[in-house]
Amino acid sequence: MRILFSSTPAHGHLLPQLPLARAFRDRGDDVSVISSASFAPMLAAERIDLLPVGPEAAELLAEAARRTGGVATEPTPAAAAEFFAGARIDLTAEEALAAARDFGPDLVVAEATDYVGPLVAAVLGVPFAKLAFGPLIPADFTDAFDAVAASRYKERGVELPTPAWYLDPCPQLLQAPDWQPPRGRLPMRPQAHRGPDTPERTPGAAGPVAEGTRVKALVSFGTQFTDPGVLRPIIEALAPAVDLVVTLGLTTTPADYGTDLAHVEFTGFRPLAELLDGVDLVITHGGAGTTLGALAHGLPLVVVPQGADQFLQAAAVARSRTGVAVPPPAAGPEAVVAAAAEVLGAPEFRGNARRAAEQMAAMPSPREVADRLASALR
């Protein structure tokens, strides 16, 4: 079986696909990924081939901003559609189609905001599965994405295809009250990102913080949202009472945060699964991978959204009472400290995080999903 994954060129979109890509690889299937060239070292370590096509995310973002007059912190449907379905298709499609024809996939797996993979599937006449990475994206966004993509597909003589499967890692606890399962929904257990050498294990939910001990919190704002101007005041406010592990992402170094920070450990880009042991709380920007990965370990959250779909995760966390959301303009350090105190002081949040973890643990594993998809393709 030949399985082609397709992803927007961003870690938060590609990493949630790795568990299923590994599952197909371990079955003995031929697995390749269509995305930008910067992911070559990471995928080589996974023994997964990259078909490097299209520009990096920064170039796509700049082009989308040029076309729309700027990209706001909390994007509008029209601006987001230009990035994911307009500029991305325009600057990537021809390379992707040529690479996919050479590969000859039996199945295309595309993450939820990727419109290059479905185009490949439509042109080549093969089925595709849509792989979500968080709660269902609101219809005002997906309708805008589909409308922009449909015009590009029409230029190539095809229609926007309907996915044969909707692979869903989101537990019901985090879905909106009016949520209805999409057509072809197949649940798939989410995992905190682990590296090729990270031991795979079943996460266990952390217990309550023992009286008289210092709380340990992971502060993770993803690979691109680690602005010291945002994080340094939050770290300073939390450090007197909380031991902190702070991820640097791909854009900063410890020196960027200055000195005189006691009880703070900085760490470079590392798989999330290696950072959650011994943690009592996760303070995050609300990326889908970080949010679901932390909840898979039964860890409650403080979500401080910075942009993109993070506001969607923040709303889901607040609604499910698995943590507290601190959106702008209230997202100053005092508000984050108050939110952390609220989460740690109320057992309800930890209990709900454990409920989310239990719902995730009951979902089919990526290997079970890979086997089911392969059986359906025979």
Using the predicted structure, report yes or no on whether residue 196 has a pLDDT greater than 90: no
Half-sphere exposure in the Cβ direction for 80 (13 Å, CA): 21
Read off the pLDDT of each residue in 335-352 and give the average, rounded to a whole number. Answer: 92
Give the pLDDT confidence score for residue 2 in this predicted structure.
Answer: 97
What is the per-residue pLDDT across 197-206, written as a single tens digit (0 to 9) for each? 777 665 555 5
pLDDT tens for residues 151-183? 999 999 999 999 999 999 999 999 988 888 999
**pLDDT the model gives residue 223:** 64
Do the two domains 2-190+363-377 and 215-360 of this chain adopt the same fold?
A: yes
279 burial type by CB count under 10 A (0-12 exposed, 13-18 middle, 19+ buried): middle
Q: What is the pTM of this model?
A: 0.89
3-class secondary-structure state, position 50: strand
Write down the architecture of domain 2-190+363-377 according to CATH: 3-Layer(aba) Sandwich (3.40)
| Structure confidence at residue 219 (pLDDT) | 87
* Architecture (CATH level 2) of domain 215-360: 3-Layer(aba) Sandwich (3.40)
Average pLDDT, the chain: 88
Number of neighbours of residue 26 by Cβ within 10 angstroms: 13
Tens of pLDDT along 235-254?
888 888 888 888 887 777 77
**pLDDT (0 to 100) of residue 310:** 86
User: Which stretches of the chain are assigned E, i.e. beta strand?
Assistant: 2-6, 30-35, 49-52, 107-111, 128-131, 165-168, 185-187, 215-220, 242-247, 264-267, 281-284, 301-303, 323-325
Alpha-helical regions (H) of 54-138: 57-68, 77-81, 88-103, 116-124
Q: Are 282 and 127 in contact (CB under 8 A)?
A: no
pLDDT at 364: 97
Beta strands in 121-231 (DSSP E): 128-131, 165-168, 185-187, 215-220
Please state the domain extents for the chain. Answer: 2-190+363-377, 215-360
Tens digits of per-residue pLDDT, 64-88?
Answer: 888 887 655 567 888 889 999 999 9
Largest CA distance in the chain: 67
Half-sphere exposure of 14 (CA within 13 A, CB side): 24
Q: What percent of the chain has pLDDT over 70?
A: 93
Residue 65 is predicted with a pLDDT of: 87
